[in-house]
Amino acid sequence: MPADPLFYERFLALMEKSLSDVKTFSERENRPLHEVLLDKDHTTKLFLTKDAAQSILRNASQNLETLHALSGIHSFILAADPISGDAFLGGTVLAREFWRGLRGGGEAGAKGLHAFCLKKTRTPLQGPNESSTPASASVDTKRGSSSSVKAEVYTTVRDALRWVVAYSSLSKAEHA
């Protein structure tokens, strides 16, 4: 808590001014306020620094340790950066030991999470048809049944449509 008793009042005034500025921008651009606020939050997350991300992960790990101290619950958090491949494992000592000793866990599991996230996520600069893996690596050598091929096509199209909806500037009401 800041030593200055008026800090909270000044902080609230700053937040109100910030919201007022966003409202003004929203009206000027003729876009719904909720859409502009979502875009603002998304942009903030895009430019989240690596140090800030590490700080958030460390805080989450400390919160899990506090949870254990208060309630006895063991838990862990595993995070993988799909861009750099860095992984973070936090939580209680016992839960982290469990993860490291788990078959398919540990470093191999973190790499697996990284690969899974890389495959499933699309960045705004990467279209739904672009893959981070070479085309030859994604070709299946076995022929599947027509129903499995059909299911794969539906899944791919559904993922592509979700990507378009997630990164388009259309409001949810326009998708109905």
Determine the Cα–Cα distance for residues 81 and 64; give it in Å rounded to an integer.
20
State residue 40's pLDDT score. 80
pTM score, whole prediction: 0.43
State residue 63's pLDDT score. 93
State residue 48's pLDDT score. 65
Strand ranges in the chain using DSSP code E only, listed in sequence order: 76-80, 87-91
Percentage of the chain modeled with pLDDT above 70: 74
Domain ranges of the chain: 122-129+144-176
State residue 161's pLDDT score. 73
State residue 60's pLDDT score. 92
Determine the Cα–Cα distance for residues 47 and 82; give it in Å rounded to an integer.
15
Amino acid type, 158: R
Between 165 and 109, whose confidence is greater?
109
DSSP string, 132-157: SS-HHHH--SSPPPHHHHHHHHHHHH
Q: Per residue in 47-70, pLDDT tens?
A: 766 777 888 899 999 999 999 999
State residue 23's pLDDT score. 92
**Token pair of 108, please?**
């191999």
Long-range Cβ contact pairs of 39-47 (< 8 A, separation 24 or more): 39/169, 46/124
Between 109 and 5, whose confidence is greater?
109
Angle between helices 7-29 and 33-46 (to 10 degrees): 110
Residue at token pair 């096509």: 153
Q: Per residue in 116-161, pLDDT tens?
A: 877 777 554 455 544 444 443 444 445 567 887 888 888 888 777 7
Is the pLDDT assigned to residue 74 strictly greater than 60? yes
